Amino acid sequence: EANSGRLPTEDDARNRSMYERSPFGLSIGRIDQKYEHWRTVRERKLKLSQDYESQIESMKEKERTREKSYNKFLKSERDKRRTQFHKWGDRRQAAKNYHDRSIKDIEDTSYLDYK
C-alpha cells in the first residue's frame, strides 16, 4: 500500500492479515508465504522426480521383459534349427541305410547269379 502511491484506507486496514497486523510489519507474513511457496515447490519437484524415476524404472522393466522374450524367441529358433538339422541327419541316415541295403541286395543277387 505504501508503495502504491495512495494512503491506506480503513478497508485496507480491515483486510490486513494477521501477520500484517503484527508489530513486526509485513516481513513475517512475507517470509511465511515464501516459506510455504518454496515448500510447495520442493514437494512438487520431489513428486516430479519420483514420477520420473518410476517411469524410468517401468521402462527398464519393459525393456527387460522384451529382452527376455526376444532371447526366448532366439532360443526357440536355435532349437528349431538344431532339430531340423537332426531331422535332416536322420533322413540322410535313412537314405544311406536304404542305399546300403539296396547295394547289399544287388551284391547278394549278383552273388547268387554268380553261384
From residue 53, alpha-carbon distances to 44, 47, 64 in Å are 14, 10, 16
Q: What is the per-residue pLDDT across 14-63, written as a single tens digit (0 to 9) for each?
A: 776 655 555 555 555 566 676 777 788 889 999 999 999 999 999 999 99
Per the model's pLDDT, the better-predicted residue between 103 and 44 turns out to be 44
Residues 19/28, Cβ–Cβ less than 8 Å: yes
